[in-house]
Amino acid sequence: MNQIADMPDAVETPLDQIDFSDPRLLKDDSWHEYFARLRDESPVHYQAESPFGPFWSITRFEDIVAVDSNFQDFSSEPTIIIGEVGEEIPAEMFIAMDPPKHDVQRKAVQGVVAPKNLEEMEGLIRTRVQEALDDLPVGETFDWVEKVSINITTQMLATLFGFPFEDRAKLTYWSDIAAAGPQMTGGDIDPQERFDGLMECLATFTQLWHDRKAQNDDGFDLISMLQRDPATADMVDRPMEYMGNLLLLIVGGNDTTRNSMTGGVLALNQNPAEYDKLRADQSLIPSMVSEIIRWQTPLAHMRRRATRDIEFGGQQIKKDDKVVMWYMSGNRDERSIENANEFIIDRANPRHHIAFGFGIHRCMGNRLAEMQLRILWEEIMLRFSHIEVMGEPTRVNSNFVKGYETLPVRVHPL
């Protein structure tokens, strides 16, 4: 992407001269003023030119719910990011499908996060979190993203897939490259490296499928579940569908929770009164978890495509136009969320946020995500009085993943 010029002034610049797809808005955490202007001045906003082509921006909470719920007029095909995914790897993932195909594929895997399976996984996840936290270097500054957020999320993913534990860093790598194509999200990955990496991912998981089949045990890992479900028992024979759904679950379980794990530490440091509330009353952890997810909104947007000419919010959206729902903006919309720009761990209705999306594509792993964050914070509170942020975070270069590369911290034991 051509990013030589500075970002235009957030307040003075006419809206039609601002590129809302510029990944620097997230990289620099400078998006707040730009998107507040869209919500106030042009909530259904057409941008005629961008490196990803023209697109509409939807920025108010209620409008996003309306678009997200209307899968007839706003299709998820062919993809759910502003950019294009390219045709070199035609992975099929149900997040980028409409009914009825979407429904069949989603149903095949959603049992993975059914309550019974979550209960079975909780103990194992807690053990992993305990080990990671017990290994942290006390008395020195370290990178929370590397030592905690990536470490724990990757361990959890390896556990969910029954993936060889010693190779688990590969899951993070595949997740990172899957969503980082320059033409996709403004990321930095070389297309050939991306292609090679994803082919290795497919080969590894194909081998894992056959190994698991040969073991013939009744594990509750994701691959065993796919093998047991009649609708997906032969998914390995449909490689692009197998890989698409693997990538969806890897990225969906990785970029998201990982960044909420970091975002929570940062938010509590920026809001010390909330940290005091938490230390005084740990029963606030579940509502704090929802607030952290709202505050972070790890995926900045989802894209739809208009299936017909349609009037929306007083604007004429044409058939095939890209329509981008900016979740991060909806989550700061004062029209729908009281004190939306404040981090309040005991707010009245913490689950009323849009980070999981709404409608038939609503996040399938939402309860697993909440469970992981809850366990993390329960175990943090058993060990540390305070996780102190020691410097500025560095953020991901993407218009899609709203997350962190690094966050220097120190832990203070109880």
Partner 1 sequence: MPKVTLIEFNGTDHTIDAETGKSLMMNAIDNGIPGIDADCGGACACGTCHVFVEQKWFDATGESNPLEDSMLSMRPDREEVSRLSCQIEITDAMDGMVVRMPEYQM
DSSP code at position 150: I
315 binds partner 1 (CB under 8 A): no
194 binds partner 1 (CB under 8 A): no
Binding piece for partner 1, criterion CB under 8 A, among 63-71, 216-224, 321-329, 387-395: 63-71
To partner 1, the closest distance from the beta carbon of 337 in angstroms equals 10
- Which tokens is 52 given? 């990803």
Q: Which of 110, 207, 215, 270 binds partner 1 (CB under 8 A)?
A: 110
**Rounded Cα gap, residues 155 and 353, in angstroms:** 28
Binding piece for partner 1, criterion CB under 8 A, among 125-133, 218-226, 236-244, 347-355: 347-355
Our measurement of the distance from residue 360's CA atom to the centroid of its chain's CA atoms, rounded to an integer in Å, reads 17
**List of residues 6+ apart from 138 with CB closer than 8 A:** 411, 413
Torsion of CA 356, 358, 363, 369, to 10 degrees: 30
Among 342, 323, 257, which residue's Cα sits nearest to residue 66? 323
Q: Given the complex with partner 1, which of 111 and 219 has the nearer CB atom? A: 111
Q: Which of 77, 114, 196, 228 binds partner 1 (CB under 8 A)?
A: 114
Binding-residue pattern over the window 64 to 103 for partner 1, x denoting contact by CB under 8 A = -x--xx-x---------------------------x---x
To partner 1, the closest distance from the beta carbon of 68 in angstroms equals 7
Q: Which of 37, 352, 374, 383 binds partner 1 (CB under 8 A)?
A: 352
How many residues of this chain interact with partner 1, rule: CB under 8 A? 24
**List of residues 6+ apart from 120 with CB closer than 8 A:** 220
**Rounded Cα gap, residues 24 and 6, in angstroms:** 10
366 binds partner 1 (CB under 8 A): yes
359 binds partner 1 (CB under 8 A): yes
362 binds partner 1 (CB under 8 A): yes
Binding piece for partner 1, criterion CB under 8 A, among 39-47, 107-115, 125-133, 180-188: 107-115
**Rounded Cα gap, residues 52 and 70, in angstroms:** 24
Output 47-54 pairs: Cβ under 8 A, ≥24 positions apart.
47/16, 47/19, 47/20, 47/21, 48/16, 49/19, 50/19, 50/20, 50/21, 50/82, 51/1, 51/2, 51/19, 51/21, 51/186, 52/21, 52/82, 52/83, 52/84, 52/183, 52/322, 53/322, 54/321, 54/322
231 binds partner 1 (CB under 8 A): no
Q: Which of 10, 124, 132, 360 binds partner 1 (CB under 8 A)?
A: 360
**Rounded Cα gap, residues 412 and 414, in angstroms:** 7
- Which tokens is 86 given? 């390219």
Q: Given the complex with partner 1, which of 147 and 352 has the nearer CB atom? A: 352
374 binds partner 1 (CB under 8 A): no
Contact residues: partner 1, CB under 8 A: 65, 68-69, 71, 99, 103, 106-107, 110-111, 113-115, 351-353, 356, 358-360, 362, 364, 366-367
